[in-house]
Structure 1
Amino acid sequence: MGRRRSGRPVDGILLLDKPVGASSNAALQRVKRLFGARKAGHTGSLDPLASGLLPICFGEATKVSGYLLDADKYYWVRVRLGEKTATGDAEGEVIARSDTSPPAEDKVREALAAFLGEQDQVPPMHSAVKHQGKRLYELARAGEEVERKPRRIRIHEFELERLDGDTMDLRVRCTKGTYVRTLVEDVAEHLGTCGYVAELRRLAVGPFGAQGMHTIEALEEAAERGHESLDALLLPIDEALADWPAVVLDPDSVFYIGRGQPVQVPRAPTGGWVRVYDDHERLLGVGEVLDDGRIAPKRLLRAVG
């Protein structure tokens, strides 16, 4: 007989404002303890140096966390020009300097425009990507450097917010797997200098923005009032899929889809992924529209609420 998980059942999504200095996992464990939750996971790591939006999925919401991992991200980043660090951020030692004069604003905007669209990016050595079973940052700390395969990414938006001498503030909207540290180093090189990430803050993940984020301190205050106050801060699971079309099933279709069988739905979307509800507006899970128009179940939830 397997060991029973401790904690109470909690379902929903919390928008955590992760503080600087904490790892994503440390922040997750702290929040999980505050809620006394049985099951929780985060959606996409933020470096300890970075702050900002870290969606925490509780209970059945962990079944849709993968879709948030795949979602676009939006960042604010402060860049320090004229120096390069070993890690690409403020935590690493300076390994190179440039005596090039700070760039003009028009040159910066031209450089940012050059990085819009699809491109290949090589993950930095100081990253969580695995190489032969080991994290790259573990190899980097041991003084090793290995060849990394480039990854296809896309930069949707890249804007200059402020330029002040050797410091510039940027905003970037990008696909999953984009390393802002590498992007910053490449932009600096394009400008004929070097640079690193001095500060980084994530402002959005998929459908979730900075509005509605909760700090650890706010959660601790809510926890003093009890679990009900904490649970009131949770978002419904289907908000993670808010950009997807929705289909509503009749009772017979609910029966069959619950047993893993595709079902016919009148006026269903013509393709792609959909949110699936019963006729009481309860989220059943995620489905995919097949070529013949039927909806096939892909990720079903147990009854929530």
Structure 2
Amino acid sequence: MNKIVNILKPTGMTSHDVVSCVRRILNIKKVGHTGTLDPDAAGVLPICLGRATKVSELILNKDKSYICELTLGIETDTYDSSGTILYRNDGCSIDKSKIVQAFKLQEGEIDQIPPVYSALKVGGKKMCDLARKGKADSIEIKPRKVNIKKIDILNISDNKITFYVECSKGTYVRSICHDVGAYLGCGGHMSFLLRTSSGRFDLENSITLEQLEEFSKNGTLDEYLYDVDYVLNNLLEADLKPSAKKYYTNGGTIDSKRFTVKGLKNHDEKTYLVRVYCQNIFIGVGKISKDNNTITLKSDKLFI
């Protein structure tokens, strides 16, 4: 089974917990998630099965969207409600126009400092593990470029702000909450998070772990499984001639006379990935290389 299933992760489970459940329910050894979703968060978590795990990192690179609740007046060391409270301001009252301004500063390409309690590695070790050992002060956290493509305030009620955000890979919504609280001078933390989409996957085409087990037992699971190339719709399509298939699948480099790429003339990059088909059958991901007037294709990931 080389497919992808979109699981609606519940709160209270790690992404690894979900992988373990899927592995048990479907009795498949090779299972992988496509980007960690915090235990306290819920929402879209695409799970790759079998050879589909080869494209996990390609899904990880997709944009994501969230609905989040920010609670002002309480700052925690983890930037969310699971952490230790570092600061509290029960009399927090901020003018709405200043809140709007704080969110405006989060829009576009920004330098974001990730939480120390995150899975990012420093010197080969996860920052969260170092922090739990009391070594948080020794960690040098460097800002990272992220792109907040859209951020809209949905509701403001007392000290709670609900907002929607669309962002690039590597964005920490917890950091948005922390930074808004810091700008407003009252502190803040993420008190709720729901991932509403990851690439082409969203809440509407997700299923729960309970449904996964039910559909697996009654034989209707195929309706909720996605082919690998479904998530690669952003890549150009290369059509390989049948005579070149064996050489290609054995690792050979194919010249441009033996394949065609739709939209190739409009592509300026010297190397890029494509979806490779042969006689309308998806066979994998290939890498196009352009050197002067020479264009070649070589296999990057095979799915046959």
Alignment correspondent of 2:55? 64
How far the C-alpha of 1:70 sits from its partner, in A, is: 1.3
Pairs within 5 Å for 1:28-39: 28-39=19-30
Q: Does 1:102 align with 2:102?
A: no
Higher helix proportion (structure 1 or 2): 2
Pairs within 5 Å for 1:61-100: 61-98=52-89
Alignment correspondent of 2:128? 137
The one-letter amino acid paired with 1:104 is D
Q: Does 1:284 align with 2:283?
A: yes
Alignment correspondent of 2:274? 274
SS for the counterpart of 1:31 is helix
- 1:237–1:43 Cα change, 3 Å: same
Structure 1 residues 249-303: Cα deviation after superposition (integer angstroms, max 9, x where no partner): 2202323322321331345414333211111x21111123322463423423232
**Which sections of structure 1, spanning at least 5 residues, go unmatched?**
1-9
SS for the counterpart of 1:27 is helix
Q: Does 1:154 align with 2:147?
A: yes
Q: What TM-score, normalized to structure 1?
A: 0.89
Cα contact 2:6–2:207 (8 A) shared by 1: yes
The one-letter amino acid paired with 1:166 is N
Cα contact 2:76–2:84 (8 A) shared by 1: yes
Equivalenced residue count is 291
Give the Cα–Cα distance (whole angstroms) in 1 for the partners of residues 296 and 224 of structure 2: 32
Alignment correspondent of 2:166? 173
How far the C-alpha of 1:236 sits from its partner, in A, is: 0.9
Which is further off, 28-37 or 289-298? Answer: 289-298
Cα contact 1:108–1:160 (8 A) shared by 2: no
Structure 1 residues 63-119: Cα deviation after superposition (integer angstroms, max 9, x where no partner): 111101111111111111111112111111221013564333333222212111222
Identity level (%): 34
Higher strand proportion (structure 1 or 2): 2
Cα contact 2:72–2:92 (8 A) shared by 1: no
SS for the counterpart of 1:211 is helix
Q: Does 1:123 align with 2:110?
A: no
**Which sections of structure 2, spanning at least 5 residues, go unmatched?**
none
Which residue of 33, 45, 60 corresponds with 1:54?
45
The one-letter amino acid paired with 1:299 is D
Give the Cα–Cα distance (whole angstroms) in 1 for the partners of residues 181 and 89 of structure 2: 10
How far the C-alpha of 1:248 sits from its partner, in A, is: 1.7
Give the Cα–Cα distance (whole angstroms) in 2 for the partners of residues 224 and 282 of structure 1: 29
SS for the counterpart of 1:181 is helix
Cα contact 2:240–2:260 (8 A) shared by 1: no
Alignment correspondent of 1:262? 254
Give the Cα–Cα distance (whole angstroms) in 1 for the partners of residues 210 and 55 of structure 2: 27
Give the Cα–Cα distance (whole angstroms) in 2 for the partners of residues 101 and 141 of structure 1: 30
Structure 1 residues 137-194: Cα deviation after superposition (integer angstroms, max 9, x where no partner): 1121122211122222111111111111100111111111111111210012122321
Q: What TM-score, normalized to structure 2?
A: 0.89
- 1:68–1:275 Cα change, 3 Å: same
Which is further off, 176-185 or 22-31? Answer: 176-185
Q: Does 1:300 align with 2:293?
A: no
SS for the counterpart of 1:290 is strand
- 1:293–1:55 Cα change, 3 Å: farther
- 1:295–1:184 Cα change, 3 Å: farther
Give the Cα–Cα distance (whole angstroms) in 2 for the partners of residues 96 and 112 of structure 1: 21
Cα contact 1:75–1:201 (8 A) shared by 2: yes
